[in-house]
Every structure is written in structure tokens, then in C-alpha cells.
């Protein structure tokens, strides 16, 4: 009986730790997308804040849709590519990276597609403020959320093994 309680505690502690790492990683990759887009378009990155929520302060943004949208796009593509690479070289731990990719899809899709603010300071608000279509943002959100749930499908067997 004590063994099961100890195993459940260890499993819960690992899951809490891992979800926290996924949150931090998702924020970092998302902001990396904004930074890359800003630098590549000639904007200046003035400040990046990561925790507990993240944002990037930029100046001289000539292509706001590109810079503000890149966080969610890069924030989903990079984790997906990372999982695909790890799946080839380290299949035993690939499930962790698949979960992370799914986490990034769900988080970014929810953030962009289901943020119903109409103007700043969120990415969706800034995108709408600069002319993005609410329908396109909603479509992005639905596609990302669906993709994230598909990536998560069947992953529980790795996290909840019964011994």
C-alpha cells in the first residue's frame, strides 16, 4: 500500500514539474518567434520578459502582422520539428517532446484563436488592431488546438503506467 502511494506521489510530482517545464519552454519558443521576426524585418527588440507570462517589447516595427504573428507560428513549428528530430534519434524519450509539441499547439492556438479582446496588449489584439481578420485567427486557433489534441492522443500510456 505504501509503495502505491509513493509511486503516485512521484508520478504527480514529475507531471507537475514537466508541465511547468513545458510552460516555460512554450513561452521561450513563442517569444523567440517574435524576436526572429523582429530582427529579420529590421525592428528593434528592446525587452523580452518570460515569466510568469511573456512579452516582447519592440520598436520600429514596419511589418506588425509578421512580427506579432510569428510568435504563435514559430511557437508551434519549432516544437513540432524538435519532436520529429528526437523521434528519429531518441525514440525512448520522444513521447516527452511529442507532449511538449502538443502543449505548444494547444497553448498558442488558444491564445491566438480564442482571445476575444479587440485591441492590444495581447498578440491577437495587436494582430486585429493592425488589420488581421478575426476569422483567420479563429481558424488558426481551431487548427492548432485540434493538432495539439491529436499529438496528445494516446500519450497518457507513457505518463500513467500501471505497475
In a domain, 17, yes or no: no
Q: Is the peptide bond before 98 cis (omega within 30 degrees of 0)?
A: no
Q: pTM of the prediction?
A: 0.91
CA-based nearest residue to 140, from 158, 101, 108, 113: 113
Domain count, the chain: 1
Mean per-residue pLDDT over the chain, rounded: 91
In a domain, 146, yes or no: yes
CA-based nearest residue to 48, from 35, 39, 36, 38: 35
pLDDT at 103: 98
Each residue's pLDDT tens digit, 6-32: 888 888 899 999 999 999 999 999 999
Output the 3-class SS for 30-84. HHHHHHHHHHHCCCEEEEEECCCCCEEEEECCCCHHHHHHHHHHHHHHHHHHHHH
Percent of the chain with pLDDT over 70: 94
Each residue's pLDDT tens digit, 101-123: 999 999 999 999 998 766 668 99
pLDDT at 102: 98
In a domain, 143, yes or no: yes
In a domain, 138, yes or no: yes
Amino acid at each position: 500500500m505504501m509503495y502505491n502511494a509513493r509511486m503516485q506521489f512521484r508520478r504527480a510530482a514529475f507531471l507537475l514539474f514537466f508541465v511547468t517545464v513545458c510552460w516555460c519552454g512554450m513561452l521561450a519558443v513563442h517569444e523567440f518567434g517574435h524576436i526572429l521576426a523582429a530582427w529579420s524585418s529590421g525592428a528593434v527588440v528592446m525587452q523580452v520578459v518570460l515569466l510568469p507570462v511573456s512579452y516582447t517589447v519592440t520598436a520600429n516595427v514596419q511589418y506588425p502582422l509578421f512580427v506579432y504573428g510569428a510568435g504563435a507560428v514559430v511557437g508551434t513549428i519549432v516544437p513540432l520539428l524538435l519532436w520529429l528530430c528526437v523521434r528519429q534519434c531518441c525514440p525512448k524519450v520522444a513521447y516527452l517532446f511529442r507532449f511538449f509539441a502538443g502543449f505548444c499547439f494547444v497553448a498558442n492556438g488558444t491564445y491566438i484563436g480564442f482571445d476575444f479582446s479587440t485591441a492590444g496588449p495581447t498578440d491577437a489584439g495587436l494582430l486585429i488592431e493592425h488589420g488581421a481578420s478575426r476569422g483567420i485567427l479563429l481558424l488558426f486557433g481551431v487548427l492548432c488546438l485540434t493538432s495539439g489534441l491529436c499529438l496528445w492522443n494516446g500519450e497518457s500510456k507513457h505518463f500513467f503506467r500501471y505497475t
